[in-house]
Amino acid sequence: QVELVESGGGLVQAGGSLRLSCTLSGRTFSYYAMGWFRQAPGKEREFVSIISRSGDYTFYADSVKGRFTISRDDAKNTVYLQMNSLKPEDTAVYYCACSQSHSLPEWSGGYDYWGQGTQVTVSS
């Protein structure tokens, strides 16, 4: 059974930091590129970041570039999203997902499995 479990969300003031974690079980972690998406109330799910299987390549949405950092630890089957300089507009449910695609997709349809999400709320 495949499972992706996110953690690390919470309430933080603007300018603060959070680190999200997502652990994959039931599949070989190193076979997947790992991505983060988010969905704010009343909005569509949007791409945040992706890291390749090797960890050599990372991509970010323009809205988070320079503030968020994605990383992975294959020994722990875990992907991380370090979020700094948080803004109220970063408030959303954050989802991790895994993809076997070699194209490092920024669209949600390119992913095979999804986590349940973790809430991030940034107060002004």
> pLDDT tens digits, the chain, 124 residues: what are they?
999 999 999 999 999 999 999 999 999 999 999 999 999 999 999 999 999 999 999 999 999 999 999 999 999 999 999 999 999 999 999 999 999 988 889 898 899 999 999 999 999 9
Q: Tell me, what's the pLDDT at 49? A: 98
Q: Tell me, what's the pLDDT at 103? A: 86
Residue 76 to residue 97: CA distance in whole angstroms? 16
CB-facing half-sphere around the CA of 31: CA atoms within 13 A: 9
C-alpha R_g of the chain: 13
Residue 13 to residue 54: CA distance in whole angstroms? 34
Q: Tell me, what's the pLDDT at 102? A: 84
CA 44 to chain centre: 15
Q: Tell me, what's the pLDDT at 43? A: 96
Residue 100 to residue 33: CA distance in whole angstroms? 6
